[in-house]
Amino acid sequence: MSDPVSPLSGARYDGFATVREIGPLGMITLRAKTGTPGLEASVMAATGCEMPAVRHVVVNGANAAGWMSPDETLLVLPYADVAGALSKIADAMKGQHHLAVDVSDARAVFRVEGAKADQVIRKLSPVDVDLLQPGELRRSRAAQVAAAFWADEGGFTVVCFRSVAAYMFGLLSTSARPGAEL
């Protein structure tokens, strides 16, 4: 079998901020209501992360767990670890109503980096970036498509659907063009 390829094979643009497509990353959508027995243990077993608070993401090295909705958690982990993580979740949540699915291939992930990386976000999403709390995961839109992002060291991680990866890369790089600093 071939190696998995991310939608843009690691495209990169250097403007006043740097835009890099990263991945493929492992991602699991875990749907279960907050408080379901075994949910916190599942998140810990799959990612080593504590259960994220409302609208927050917990980052643990290459792993992360993000609050997506009252009954959905996004788990981020190495691509190769997904199958193992799914079986750990199945064990931890045995007998509990839940849904855990591999969505690693359904997403495109970008890093927007540099001192002015926030300006790229400010041009695309109707989000008050100044008021984002540390570790806040914001689901919104970037121009015309759904996107989720959070700030971490040196910039932002931006996640969107795979099919619109080229559109998102176009948005991010256009917004990061030199001379267009806010």
Partner 1 sequence: MLILECPYCGVKAEETELSPGGEAHLKRFGPGSSDADFEAYMFARKNPKGVHFERWRHAYGCGKWFLAARCTATLEVFGTYPAQTSEPPAEIIANIMAKRPAWKGFK
Partner 2 sequence: MSTRLKSGGRLIDRSASLEFTFNGKRLKGYAGDTLAAALLANDQMLVGRSFKYHRPRGIVASGAEEPNALVNLGSGARLEPNQRATTTEVFDGLQATSQNHWPSLEHDVGVLNNYAARFLPAGFYYKTFIHPRAAWKHVFEPIIRQSAGLGRAPKDRDADRYEQAYGFADLLVAGGGIAGLQAALVAARAGARVWIVEQTAVWGGRAPVDGDVIDGMPAATWVDAAVTELASLPNVTLRVRTMAAGVYDHGYVLLDEKVADHTPGDGRPKHRLWRMRVGRIINATGAIERPLSFAGNDIPGVMLASAVRDYVVNWAVSPGDRTVVVTNNDDGYRTAITLKEAGMDVPCVIDARVRADGALPARARGLGIRVETGRGIAKVKGGKRVEGIEMCLQAGEGAASSFIACDAVAMSGGWSPVVHLWSHCGGKLTWDDAHAFFRPDATRPPITHDGSAMVYAAGAANGALHEALADATHRAKIALQSLGMTAETATAPAHDLPEESPMEAVWIMPQGAPIALKAKMWLDYQNDVKVSDVQLAAREGYESVEHTKRYTTLGMATDQGKLSNINGLAVLAGSLNTEIPLVGTTTFRPPYTPVTLGALAGEARGEIFQPLRKTPMHDWHEKNGAYFEPVGYWRRPYCFPRAGETHEQAVHREVLNTRSNVGLLDASTLGKIIVKGPDAGRFLDMLYTGVMSTLPIGKCRYGLMCNEQGFLSDDGVVARIDEDTWLCHTTSGGADRIHGWMEDWLQCEWWDWQVFTANVTEQYAQVAVVGPKARKVLEKLGGMDVSKEAVPFMGWADGTLGGFPVRVYRISFSGELSYEIAVPASHGAAFWAACVAAGAEFGAMPYGTEGLHVMRAEKGFIMIGDETDGTVIPQDLGLDWAISKKKADFLGKRGQERSFLASADRWKLVGFETLDGSVIADGAYIIDAGVNANNQRKVQGRVTSTYHSPTLGRGIAMGLLRHGPVRMGEVVEFTKLDGSTVKAKVVNAVFYDKDGEKQNV
Residues that bind partner 2 in the complex, under the rule CB under 8 A: 1-2, 4-7, 24, 29, 31-32, 71, 79, 97-99, 101-107, 119, 122-128, 130-131, 143-145, 161-167, 170-171, 174-175, 177-180, 182
List all residues 6 or more positions away from 82 whose beta carbon is below 8 Å from its beta carbon. 26, 27, 28, 102, 104
* Binding flag, residue 101, partner 1 (CB under 8 A): no
Give least dist CB 75 to partner 2, A. 13
Give least dist CB 37 to partner 2, A. 14
97 binds, among partner 1, partner 2, none (CB under 5 to 8 A by kind): partner 2
* Binding flag, residue 116, partner 1 (CB under 8 A): no
Give least dist CB 97 to partner 1, A. 16
Nearest CB to partner 1, comparing residues 96 and 133: 133
Give least dist CB 29 to partner 2, A. 5
The beta strand positions in the chain, using DSSP E, are 12-14, 18-22, 25-31, 57-60, 63-69, 72-78, 99-102, 107-113, 137-142, 145-152, 155-161
Distance, CA of 23 to CA of 95 (rounded, Å): 33
* Structure tokens belonging to residue 80: 């190769």
DSSP 116: T
* Binding flag, residue 134, partner 1 (CB under 8 A): no
Q: Mark the segment that binds partner 1 (CB under 8 A) among 10-18, 66-74, 86-94, 97-105.
A: 66-74
Give least dist CB 58 to partner 2, A. 21
Interior angle at CA 26, CA 60 and CA 75, nearest 5:
50
Distance, CA of 64 to CA of 62 (rounded, Å): 7
**Strand, coil or helix: what is 8?**
coil
Which residues does residue 78 pair with via DSSP β-bridges, in sequence order?
25
Q: Which residues bind partner 1 (CB under 8 A)?
A: 54-55, 67-70, 72, 126, 138-141, 146
